[in-house]
Amino acid sequence: MVFPSRFEHHCAVITGGAAGIGLSVANRIIAEGGKVAIWDRNQREIDATIARIGDRAIGIAIDVTDYRAVEAAAAATHEKFGAIDSLVTSAGITGPNMTTWTYPVEDWHRVIAVNLHGVFHATKAVVPYMLATNSGRIVNIASIAGKEGNPNASAYSASKAAVIGLTKSLGKELAKTGITVNCVTPAAVRTAIFDQMTPEHIDFMLSKIPMGRFGTVEELASLICWLASPECSFTTGGVFDISGGRATY
Ligand SMILES: NC(=O)c1ccc[n+]([C@@H]2O[C@H](COP(=O)([O-])OP(=O)(O)OC[C@H]3O[C@@H](n4cnc5c(N)ncnc54)[C@H](O)[C@@H]3O)[C@@H](O)[C@H]2O)c1
């Protein structure tokens, strides 16, 4: 169900918004009257998305591991839209599926840099703009892997567990402001990120979901958009399961 004016006068920043879950959130916010700034490293996907969405969206090609670039993107977004009302951190990678003791050091560092440092960078750059208006919504896309620890995905699982911890800390730091901070912990959803995983790992993830199917990006966007909306006013530092029954705590 679409709420036509839920995001009227709302500007959302979406890292990784050029594809997958982030793109689905961008589409829904646009459909409900909002504006979006897509921060993504994929210039080609950004161009395609902006061409389709039109003048209520801007795209900025950045790598979220580069703090100076993220800071500049926040300034450019604020200048264009006059406010940043929500931040959805969806930029992420899986890294290879390997045991921890055989994991290449460079891949470990890259996964942590994108999935954890990228969230910190976006948070650090955006929160001062939210504090200026004493309002805002931050939604981090963690993973069920961060709660349970998937075998052959320790860098990914560790990065997502860290995002859950960051969310809880930041939520408490900002609890007396009008800014809420929450994260979601999805089980698997078929997007381009599957291309980074082995078929065996994808089968493993499906086997762990009691509903026996993958989630959809629309189902994810539904929960994320509630957390990013003004309606989410008494919930902060929260971790939201969306896993077809996989999460048991
Ligand atoms: N799809 C799933 O099964 C699933 C499950 C749980 C959590 N997640 C998380 O959801 C988020 C989105 O995943 P998705 O399935 O939409 O993946 P996706 O690959 O479809 O989209 C990820 C987007 O992030 C961008 N990106 C990657 N690294 C970047 C960087 N360094 N700087 C800027 N942009 C970068 C990519 O260009 C891409 O547009 C990720 O954080 C992922 O870990 C996904």
- Report the pLDDT value the prediction gives residue 148, as an integer from 0 to 100: 96
Assigned domain for 96 exists: yes
DSSP 67: H
Active site residue 103: no
Three-state SS string over 164-222 comes to HHHHHHHHHHCCCCCEEEEEEEECCECCHHHHHCCHHHHHHHHHCCCCCCCECHHHHHH
Q: Could you tell me the two tokens for 60?
A: 């900025």
Assigned domain for 134 exists: yes
CATH at 104: 3.40.50.720
Structural domain that includes position 59 = 11-240
Assigned domain for 4 exists: no
Residue from 90, 139, 156, 242 whose mutation best tests the ligand 1 pocket (most atoms within 8 A of CB): 90
Assigned domain for 229 exists: yes
Assigned domain for 2 exists: no
* Number of domains observed in the structure of the chain: 1
Assigned domain for 76 exists: yes
Kindly give the confidence (pLDDT) of every residue in the chain, 249 residues in length, as a single tens digit, with 9 standing for 90 and above. Answer: 788 899 999 999 999 999 999 999 999 999 999 999 999 999 999 999 999 988 899 999 999 999 999 999 999 999 999 999 999 999 999 999 999 999 999 999 999 999 999 999 999 999 999 999 999 999 999 999 999 999 999 999 999 999 999 999 999 999 999 999 999 999 999 999 999 999 999 999 999 999 999 999 999 999 999 999 999 999 999 999 999 999 988
Assigned domain for 103 exists: yes
Residues at CB less than 6 angstroms from ligand 1: 16, 18-22, 40-42, 45, 63-65, 90-93, 114, 118, 141, 143, 186, 188-189, 191-193
* Residue 140, strand partner residues: 89, 183
Assigned domain for 105 exists: yes
pTM over 0.85: yes
